[in-house]
Structure 1
């Protein structure tokens, strides 16, 4: 398939125009990033969004791989002198790599098998005789006598060798393999049983005597079964209609009555059981796993995006607490810019004397630095720390609130080279407390310093393909960072390296330049940074913000290449760009801006309507943080306990994680409650992420409380009745 055919195929699959696909591929080839193309090349692509652009890129890579594999298979078959118009037609029609492999299977160089040994022994003509099924042919035993040799000493050996060749031929029948795959998917069941006398089997009790149609298996169940099988806690089988499928194979190869019917039936049975079924079963299990992994990765990516888009708590002085028993609770106070003001270690769960001394010290710290918010890590001793803080706020009449923060990955960051560079004077344990405080001050800026896989907002993330997971999560981080934008004068190198066009090297060079020359005064100054040329500037400039720039548009997502257009739009309303720095004039301009004027302005200024629309949107809210549209996490002053929960009461909480079977909601306890997918809402939906997202504030009804197992069942749909 040539490139033009691939482009038309992608356009057809994605329901877009071939020209859009061609333009996107040209932009990729020129080194443009997906965020840049989606944001600043809307006219060229016909407003393709990031998801469509990623689909184009992924499908083009797949089609290229498919085309290259077809070429390899074609050449191999030609080299064997076996090329035919029939094979040519089959290859041209093949749309999947698996179809190509099925076509190639009969021509693929074989390892030493029973069939190859039979061929080496000269039994191919005998196999052909049986295969052709001449009704007037000699009896099998009579025919086999002509093939007796030192390697084939008996008639039975000759017949068995020929049957082995026939069994291999049966296994290479592409139509039968396609039929069997479809049949397995339609009729197959996955069955599980516990491996007895295994301690680790206990956690898989739900899969004792388990069976379910493979076409209905949800992804989280597939991954759980795979994990149990890998740990040798579960025995897993694929249950199919074996006799019916063997009969189907016999019908395909047996033309009618002949002296060789019994041999062919025996060979077909052997082929199915020894060769075909194990291969197809492996394929089905692999495909189940791939689909489950893809689903798990999509869920993780969706949750990560929601987590990274959590709004920052700006203008707050925050006390970060990293709870602990034996080593004490690590504390660190940061100001509104993230700078560390004070830190220490306190024993909140020790003796009465230690708790009293810790209360005095923390009260002094909170009052001295005017702490307005306390961030408590959700790890070991989190609940006890929350009880301590709640009591402290009440007894000391402190003017602050607290919230529980997901501390996943904090210890990894604390010991990293990046943490040592950022906080060289602090002990590794205190760095964790700083990170816990910064995570709520600016979730995006802090979370990008941590391996996304360590953040803990997915399902079975350690059981999926790690390369695919990393690629998907990196794409999410890149997308969110560029969607939100980055403050050029405060961003760390860890955050900057995710900006479109920048690498870890250019990000480090930006920070070095900033340290040596002071804050950037405008975007154009980026051109002075070492190894940051015009091409990189084009890719990154629109995503970098400068609050006090000499150019007002530098604090918006308007790209420098559109500054002249933005100035013309402003002049259409009787203003200049300088008026953007005058609050009164800016407010006057904003009151006159109307989004429905975009088509008329685009026509008058000979500009693209999508770009004009984006500029108008930015002029209406210059410097706006898009994360401000999302709800902030709930803060609290009082700790709850399981004993306080009453069945039927309504509680408010924050969605902590979304998985295939529902959502976990933090309602102020150490253990989050589970809203099963059946309790999310009253109307049909495909996946829980269609209903709720990480960070959403929701009201829930308490359905049940299992104090012993520390499980809470919640319902969102019953709370909204």
Structure 2
């Protein structure tokens, strides 16, 4: 059970009620999945969505780790009776990882030189140096006022460094110039006590010689004791200065103030490690010098990559005057003027040697974590964009074409269910003209008459696309060659799964089959490939493997839940990624349906196939089209069936007659059925379009002739095209010309986009207006009028035969 302080802290972070947090965490502990909680438990969790539930669970783990560290600290301090009860209480109530270590720091054993000075009795001298002068009542009142103001200032600084950096980054401009770098962080466990010790006695004595005035000498003289190793006043003063410096380095309040100052006012600068000519793509980073509050996650990733390649290193600066004032104030006010030089020297030494080096590590750790979060967010979004690539739509046979390095073609035809129906057809292209190739294609494919062709976006295939279109036109074949991603294609074709599925085919033929299936159902085919092999970006190498793996698992689970599947047709690898299920559960479902198909959702929890938690989490995403219960073919959860029936009855129709009729809930209100707005939207959508696939569908784009002169194209003309490649800086679109058109990232969307791969994927059909026709054709996807809506009869509304919008993940 989650502790109350953790619940209250999480509630503040996520701006919700502690009871909602408790409910969400209890459901997670019970084995329920985040997609189920976010979709079907709105009221219990305060409308937290799926991604928020995941973040909530992750933050709970971090606080539990903090609790374990707190327990270790408390066990150590309980053995020391000298630790004040107030200090123990502050540790028990602390919910910030850095502050917790700061609170523990004063109770740890000091470094040897400081301990030696204390053993020699120099602690009393240190106290005399910081003792306040006697004051009259008026000065005392002023001092109390100052102290009160200081306390209020300290209270204002209670925000954690994580929050300070996060808020500053959120307020920072989104431009490229606003972003700055980061360096690999050391562990947060390294604290001041682990710092390098003060410089040797010779240097210490030399450093105090110029501040040793007669009054100081008089104060230090009683502490001179050759028997204890203190031979003169300079040695006594040096020892006292070490003690004071160590005290400042361990002061939790000083450390907290400086850490927040670093986060808010620090300046991060870059120091090149190579010449400009050797910096390559990192050249723009070599002169960066930006405030910490303007650091952006995507720029931190770029700088981390540059550091990994040993192109540059980074430093964090803080105004020494501003910081020194805070440190000096911690030594006390109204001290004797004769001691001011010593105290300033102590404050400067503590700042430079004990505070800033260690606190900088904390800041770097926060920056690293923020960069990690940005990398994981991008990887998740890129994978999601790839998995949710539009489907072919109508169920039809498809011919996949793999193009080798010589330009020759390997063609395999699959039926509407993805089953191979033709042998491998090899076409040697060479110098053949379009008419010859067209005749050969007609002769080879005539028996199967595929409804579409699938071509990869690899370089050889892109070079062959124009020749293929010309051959199809010459042969009178009215079939469009769609482009699909080649990500992970070779990995799948050479995998154990491919050998099991397509063992009788050679590798080029397996690749052709996979291309055809990727056009029919991209998600189902891409799930056969390890996400690490999909080429999602260099960010994979900058983040821990465990975090990358967790992110991929969560993204896949979210996508499969978003689409759902037919439990009697979906393959095992698709079922295994559904919320609440795993390989073993998927295997049991497949084995059971091979004996006899499922006829209802209730059968899924019979015969020990699924546990109650698995059934509860997954059942809404497993559709049963042959069930006697019509609602089993929807994405509604069985617990929603009663309210669904009441809604349809209120509309004057039975479940059999009213389900699947758009507008069947017109005029009804969710509040009349005690249903919250989010659930009502889902409910009405499913009653109108039960089991509809939320993915978009492909349509045949209208491309311009290849022999069109780009110069003749007018600005702002609307063109259709197929995305052939996506990079961080933009996308390339095949509009029919020999050279692909370019869409810069600034022209991809009206809103700010950090990486084009988050919004577009290979194979998408887009509409863009011409920005510039001279040289490479450049397009803009912003403010482009929508294409006319096709006639209802051409959109494929048959749920079982009409395809992508209704069929869901078929397998």
Aligned counterparts, 1:633-652, within 5 A? 635=701, 644=710, 648=715, 650=717, 651-652=719-720
Asked whether the 8 Å contact 2:664–2:688 carries over to 1, the reply is no
Per the TM alignment, residue 652 of structure 1 is displaced from its structure 2 partner at its CA by: 4.1
2:557 corresponds, among 478, 485, 491, to 478
Distance 1:334 1:496, change over 3 A: same
C-alpha displacement of 1:329: 4.6
Matched, 1:420 2:499: yes
Question: Which residue in the other structure is 2:125 paired with?
Answer: 129
1:323 corresponds to:
403
Which runs of 5 or more structure 2 residues have no equivalent in the other structure?
Answer: 134-214, 787-811
Q: Report the equivalent of 2:413.
A: 333
* CA displacement at 1:158 relative to structure 2: 6.1
- SS in structure 2 of the partner of residue 341 of structure 1: coil
Q: What residue is the counterpart of 2:182 in the other structure?
A: none
1:397 and 1:424 mapped to 2: Cα distance? 34
* Secondary structure at 1:542 match in 2: helix
Q: 1:234-383 residue pairs with structure 2 within 5 A?
A: 234-253=312-331, 255=333, 256-257=335-336, 261-313=340-392, 314-326=394-406, 329-342=409-422, 344=424, 346=426, 351-352=430-431, 361-383=440-462
Q: How does 1:592-631 map to 2 (within 5 A)?
A: 592-594=664-666, 596-600=668-672, 602=673, 614-627=682-695, 630=696
Deviation string 1:516-538 (CA, Å, 9 cap, x unpaired) is x1433333333456642444333
- Secondary structure of 1:376's aligned partner: strand
Partner residue in 2 for 1:61: 61
Segment of structure 1 superposing worse, 45-54 or 93-102 = 45-54
DSSP 3-state at the match of 2:569:
coil
- Check the 8 A contact 2:307/2:313 in 1, yes or no: yes
Deviation track 1:575-627 (CA, whole Å, cap 9, x = no partner) reads: 544x35xxxx767x655433624443x37xxx889767654432222232222
Q: 1:591 to 1:308 in 2, by over 3 A?
A: same
CA distance in 2, matches of 1:164, 1:720: 73
Aligned to 2:627: 549
Give me the whole-angstrom Cα distance separating, in 2, the residues matched to 1:105 and 1:633.
65
Contact preservation (8 Å) 1:487, 1:545: yes
| Counterpart in the other structure of 2:252 | 174
What is the TM-score when the length of structure 1 is the normalising length? Answer: 0.83
Partner of 1:119: 115
Matched residue SS, 1:336:
coil
- Provide the rounded CA distance (Å) in 1 between the counterparts of 2:503 and 2:580: 29
Aligned to 2:147: none
Alpha-carbon distance in structure 2 between the residues aligned to 1:320 and 1:414: 13
- 3-state SS of paired residue (1:500): coil
Q: Is the 8 A contact 1:338 1:438 kept in 2?
A: yes
* SS of residue paired to 2:391: coil
Q: Which position in structure 2 is the counterpart of 1:508?
A: 587
CA distance in 2, matches of 1:301, 1:641: 40
Distance 1:615 1:225, change over 3 A: closer
Note if 1:666 corresponds to 2:728: no
Q: Partner residue of 1:411?
A: 490
- Partner Cα distance (2:278, 2:461) in 1: 28
Could you tell me which of 394, 409, 434 is aligned with 2:473? 394
Q: Which of 286, 299, 302 is 1:221 aligned to?
A: 299
Q: Residues 444-463 of structure 1 correspond to what in structure 2 (within 5 A)?
A: 444-457=523-536, 460-463=539-542
Matched position secondary structure for 2:421 = strand
Structure 2 CA distance, aligned partners of 1:163 and 1:46? 56
Query: By how many angstroms is 1:718 displaced?
Result: 7.4
Q: Residues 161 and 447 (structure 1 numbering): CA distance in 2 closer, same or farther, change over 3 Å? A: farther
Distance in 2 (alpha carbons) for counterparts of 1:409 and 1:445: 13
**1:275-305 alpha-carbon deviations (Å, 9 max, x no partner):** 3222222222222222122123223323333
Q: Distance in 2 between matches of 1:2 and 1:132?
A: 48
Deviation, 1:483, is 2.2
> What does residue range 141-156 of structure 1 map to in structure 2 within 5 Å?
142=221, 145-146=224-225
In 2, Cα distance between equivalents of 1:207 and 1:539:
47
Q: Distance in 2 between matches of 1:175 and 1:414?
A: 60
Give the 3 Å change call, closer, same or farther, for CA 225–59 of structure 1 in structure 2: closer
Q: Distance in 2 between matches of 1:237 and 1:611?
A: 51
Structure 1 residues 459 and 146: CA distance shift in structure 2, 3 A: same
SS in 2 for 1:548: coil
Q: What secondary structure sits across from 2:632 in the alignment? A: helix
Deviation at 1:497? 0.9
- 147 and 176 in structure 1: CA distance in 2 versus 1, 3 angstrom threshold: farther
Match of residue 698 from structure 2: 632
Partner of 1:80: 80
- CA drift of 1:393 comes to 2.2
Once the two structures are TM-superposed, the CA of residue 226 in structure 1 deviates from its matched residue by 1.1
Deviation at 1:383?
2.2
**What is residue 7 of structure 2 aligned with on the other side?**
7
8 Å contact kept, 1:140–1:159:
no
Partner SS for 2:490: helix
2:400–2:454 Cα contact (<8 Å) kept: yes
Cα distance 1:642–1:624, how it changes in 2: closer, same or farther (>3 A)?
same
1:432 is aligned, of 487, 511, 531, to: 511
- Return 370-379 or 180-189, whichever deviates more: 180-189
CA shift for structure 1 position 570: 4.2
Deviation per residue, 1:215-245 (Å, 9 max, x gap):
2132222111111112111232224323543
Q: In the aligned structure 2, how far is the partner of 1:216 from the partner of 1:478?
A: 34
Distance, in Å, in 2 between the alignment partners of 1:672 and 1:689 is: 15
Q: CA deviation at 1:714?
A: 4.8
Q: Contact between 2:480 and 2:700, CA under 8 Å: does it hold in 1?
A: no
Cα deviation, 1:364-405, whole Å, max 9, x if unaligned, reads: 344332122222212232321222222222322221112322
Task: Quote the offset at 1:193 in angstroms.
Answer: 4.1
RMSD: 4.0
Instruction: Report the Cα distance in structure 1 between the residues aligned to 2:6 and 2:647, rounded to whole angstroms.
Output: 41
Q: Please list the CA deviations of residues 245-286 of structure 1 after superposition, one character each: whole Å capped at 9, or x if unmatched.
A: 335423432643366544443343333333322222222222
1:37 is displaced (CA, Å) by 2.4
Q: 1:130 to 1:637 in 2, by over 3 A?
A: same
CA distance in 1, matches of 2:669, 2:440: 60
Residue-pair matches, total: 695
Asked whether the equivalents of residues 35 and 482 of structure 1 are also in contact (C-alpha less than 8 Å), the reply is yes
Which deviates further from its counterpart, 640-649 or 247-256?
A: 640-649
Gaps of 5+ in 1: none
- Mapped to 1, the partners of 2:664 and 2:126 lie a distance apart of 88
Which shows bigger deviation, 9-18 or 276-285? 9-18
SS at structure 2 position matched to 1:339: coil
Bigger RCO (CA 8 Å, 6+ sep): 2
